[in-house]
Chain A
Amino acid sequence: MKILDRLKMLSEGVVIAFDSIRVNKVRAALTILGIAVGVFVVTGMSATVQGINSGVSASLAAAGPTTFFVTRWPAAINSCNGSADSCPWRHNEPLSLDDAHVILRQPGIQSVIVHVGSSAQVKYRGNNLPSARVDAYTADWTEVNGGDMAAGRNFTQGENTDASAVVVINVALRKQLFPDLENAQAIGKEIMIGANPFRVIGIWDQTGSLFDDADEPKATVPFEAAYRKLRFGIRWLDLTVKPRDGVPQDVAMDQAIAALRVRRQLKPAQDNTFFVSTPEKVMELYNDIVGKFFSFMIGLSAIGLMVGGVGVIAIMMISVTERTREIGVRKALGATRGTILWQFLVEAATLTMIGAVAGLVVGGALTYVIRANTSIKASIPPLAIVVALAAAALTGILFGLFPAYRAARLDPVEALRYE
């Protein structure tokens, strides 16, 4: 038979498959469930990972290619139960503004952005946010954060040193405080942060990222203003260091490390009392976690597909036995071994494809729920759909092969005599 004729017989195979599902409800349900779990795990999880990935990439891209971070704590996500052994970095001296200045004085360094995050009550007339996020930055913060000024301007170096009471709010906060105003109309308004009046000078249209949800209302104030007026604690400073153009990252990092060690009078044998990390390092760590996660879910979906596969064998063996006579008739009418094999493989693949579609629907629903309720921009990668369907079809064909082969090899006379 020609390929075209085989395709024409596809529809018949699909109809027969639905029929055997009707007849073997429990086994079919088990098979479909197994495949669905396999496919669901693949799609749901890869959608989530895809979302996290794009979030991480966006955060890292915003920081710039040679930028690195200086922190009191390590970049690794480690468990810290309070004992000295589990988190020795707790004894590290906090980073200070002087540390930042020392680093900034190095020849390879363009700028050092000092940051500390906190939260405070933010209010404009009747619109009150009891605990909004407030970030304190030195003036260059826009260089290492994704986004643009939608209206107004950022605060200047001078305003930072003067501890001027000015604030840049993001679009989300503007909507909360000034629901009836355009971005530009909010410029110049005076809002209250804690007990202090701050003047709005800019609206920040933030590119959201996984670590920084654009929908979260957020105010950014000059570091000095936060320190002196809002009394922010500064024991948890982090520094974002931007090397000069043309200075390689490792050279700038060595300069920063050397400067800090000298300042802290560390002996050559002593470890650093601070941590330096790069976006790549963060990415690596992250990839490591994702890799483990991926192996786990591949294992899980493999189990699902195996369960489905065993179900396929069971259903197909029953189907072949029940339809022995039919196979005899088809052979008497001129069906070749290949034709019969094809018919049963189509049936097996249909069974698993139904499972795959079920898994995709549930996986898609989960993706939607994740998107709607978290900052993870989960989306099913088109490739995952293709892979899931292909894996399901392959499972059907692979596990259907043995029963189909048995059907194809039946002797027509024996099959016609079968009661």
Chain B
Amino acid sequence: MTADVRDIPLSTTGELQAVVGNVGAVPGQDWVIVTRGITRDYDMGGEVVRALRGVDLAVRRNEYVAIMGPSGSGKSTLMNLVGCLDTPTSGENWLNGSLGSDMKDDALARVRNREIGFVFQTFNLLPRATALHNVELPLVYAGVGSAERKKRAVEALERVQLKDRMDHRPNELSGGQRQRVAIARALVKQPAILLADEPTGNLDSATSEEIMRVFEELAAAGQTVIMVTHESEIAAHARRVVVLRDGRISSDERREHFVKRLEK
């Protein structure tokens, strides 16, 4: 056996370079996320903040990716673009065959509803709604009937072991439980991708581990997951780690390689 394939930096693999470099072409079925040279500038009253300076990223179905980097490196900005919450200043971003960079507001909303499940650092549950109703929301916007909605929401809550808390409001739940409700809400429409921005940022380490186990299970069951974190212990749960620095990808490697480098 020659050099372990797991040691080779991912971004240099020919396959990945091919799909990223083929500007304008619709990516193959296998690629849920493809960004080609995306930039994002924020105009702060004359001064331009260049949050992303050309990011090439390609993610296959069933991958479990962590995005790392120091504060201000552009992780959240990249997540927002990948999740079609925002459009890039230049470059193209594809989400499961749809070209997000070309879309207007309402089209983006529909793509988000169809393809993405978001999990936020601050949970972002509707405070006045029950867990069940929170989980039902994406189905409401998809126009699913109420009986079907309830059935699917209960199933999603079952997956995160919170079925018995479905009539509770967020303020009656612990932080970990709230985040699990948010995960159930993200999963309820079986999205192409689960996008999580610092999902453990507001949780203690024990609860963080609990949430990571949920992610682990989902990934094992074939769910594509992209997760932003600045903690390497959390990132080490993913199978691929992308590191951002100053709005660019500085490394993109397998977990084993990342962990090995970490131990040095």
Which B60-109 residues sit within 8 Å CB-CB of chain A?
A: 80, 83, 85-86, 105-106, 109
Tell whether, in the assembled complex, residue A332 and residue B85 are in contact, meaning their CB atoms are under 8 Å apart: yes
Tell whether, in the assembled complex, residue A334 and residue B109 are in contact, meaning their CB atoms are under 8 Å apart: yes
Q: Does A326 contact B (CB under 8 A)?
A: yes
- A412 to B84 alpha-carbon distance, docked (Å): 10
Known: A326-B126, A334-B113, A416-B120. A9 touches B140 (CB 8 A): yes
Which B110-146 residues sit within 8 Å CB-CB of chain A?
A: 110, 112-114, 118, 120, 124-126, 128, 137-138, 140-143, 146
Dominant SS among interface residues on chain A: helix
Tell whether, in the assembled complex, residue B137 and residue A412 are in contact, meaning their CB atoms are under 8 Å apart: no
Q: Does B185 contact A (CB under 8 A)?
A: yes
A-B residue pair count with CB separations less than 8 angstroms: 63
A360 to nearest B CB, angstroms? 29
Tell whether, in the assembled complex, residue A338 and residue B106 are in contact, meaning their CB atoms are under 8 Å apart: yes
Which B128-184 residues sit within 8 Å CB-CB of chain A?
A: 128, 137-138, 140-143, 146
In this complex, which of A1, A332, A338 has the most chain B Cβ atoms within 10 angstroms of its Cβ? A332
- A336 to B113 alpha-carbon distance, docked (Å): 10
Q: Does A288 contact B (CB under 8 A)?
A: no
Tell whether, in the assembled complex, residue A333 and residue B85 are in contact, meaning their CB atoms are under 8 Å apart: no
- A333 to B108 alpha-carbon distance, docked (Å): 11
Tell whether, in the assembled complex, residue A333 and residue B137 are in contact, meaning their CB atoms are under 8 Å apart: yes
Residues in chain A near residue B185, CB distance under 8 A: 333
Tell whether, in the assembled complex, residue A337 and residue B143 are in contact, meaning their CB atoms are under 8 Å apart: no
Tell whether, in the assembled complex, residue A333 and residue B138 are in contact, meaning their CB atoms are under 8 Å apart: yes
Q: Which listed residue, A16, A411, A416, touches B124 by the CB 8 Å rule?
A: A416
- A338 to B104 alpha-carbon distance, docked (Å): 13
- A326 to B123 alpha-carbon distance, docked (Å): 11
Tell whether, in the assembled complex, residue B143 and residue A1 are in contact, meaning their CB atoms are under 8 Å apart: yes
Q: Which listed residue, A8, A19, A334, touches B110 by the CB 8 Å rule?
A: A334
In this complex, which of B83, B105, B125 has the most chain A Cβ atoms within 10 angstroms of its Cβ? B105
Tell whether, in the assembled complex, residue B106 and residue A330 are in contact, meaning their CB atoms are under 8 Å apart: no
- A1 to B138 alpha-carbon distance, docked (Å): 12
B74 to nearest A CB, angstroms? 13
A342 to nearest B CB, angstroms? 12
Q: Does A106 contact B (CB under 8 A)?
A: no
Q: Does A218 contact B (CB under 8 A)?
A: no
Tell whether, in the assembled complex, residue B118 and residue A332 are in contact, meaning their CB atoms are under 8 Å apart: yes
Residues in chain A near residue B110, CB distance under 8 A: 334, 336
B174 to nearest A CB, angstroms? 20
Q: Which listed residue, A5, A411, A412, touches B143 by the CB 8 Å rule?
A: A5
B120 to nearest A CB, angstroms? 7
Tell whether, in the assembled complex, residue B126 and residue A329 are in contact, meaning their CB atoms are under 8 Å apart: yes
Which A372-419 residues sit within 8 Å CB-CB of chain B?
A: 411-413, 416
Residues in chain A near residue B120, CB distance under 8 A: 416
Q: Does A339 contact B (CB under 8 A)?
A: yes
- A51 to B37 alpha-carbon distance, docked (Å): 77
B71 to nearest A CB, angstroms? 15
Looking across the interface, which residue of chain B has its beta carbon closest to that of A323? B126
- A5 to B137 alpha-carbon distance, docked (Å): 12
Looking across the interface, which residue of chain A has its beta carbon closest to that of B133? A12
- A339 to B141 alpha-carbon distance, docked (Å): 8
Looking across the interface, which residue of chain B has its beta carbon closest to that of A19? B128
Tell whether, in the assembled complex, residue B86 and residue A336 are in contact, meaning their CB atoms are under 8 Å apart: no
Residues in chain B near residue A9, CB distance under 8 A: 140
Residues in chain A near residue B143, CB distance under 8 A: 1-2, 5
A412 to nearest B CB, angstroms? 5
- A8 to B140 alpha-carbon distance, docked (Å): 9
Looking across the interface, which residue of chain A has its beta carbon closest to that of B126? A326
Known: A325-B124, A332-B112, A335-B141. A8 touches B146 (CB 8 A): yes
Q: Does A123 contact B (CB under 8 A)?
A: no
Q: Does A242 contact B (CB under 8 A)?
A: no
Q: Does A331 contact B (CB under 8 A)?
A: yes
- A412 to B140 alpha-carbon distance, docked (Å): 18
A381 to nearest B CB, angstroms? 38
Tell whether, in the assembled complex, residue A1 and residue B141 are in contact, meaning their CB atoms are under 8 Å apart: yes
Residues in chain A near residue B128, CB distance under 8 A: 16, 19
Looking across the interface, which residue of chain B has its beta carbon closest to that of A328? B124
16 contacts between A and B (CB under 8 A): A1-B143, A8-B140, A325-B124, A329-B125, A330-B141, A333-B138, A333-B185, A334-B110, A334-B138, A334-B141, A335-B141, A336-B105, A336-B109, A413-B80, A416-B85, A416-B120
Top 6 A-B pairs ranked by shortest CB distance? Answer: A334-B113, A334-B141, A336-B106, A5-B143, A336-B109, A329-B124
Please give 19 more A-B residue pairs, beta carbons under 8 A apart, in addition to A1-B141, A333-B113. Answer: A5-B140, A8-B140, A325-B124, A326-B126, A328-B124, A331-B85, A331-B112, A332-B85, A332-B124, A333-B141, A334-B141, A335-B109, A335-B141, A336-B110, A337-B106, A337-B109, A339-B141, A412-B86, A416-B124
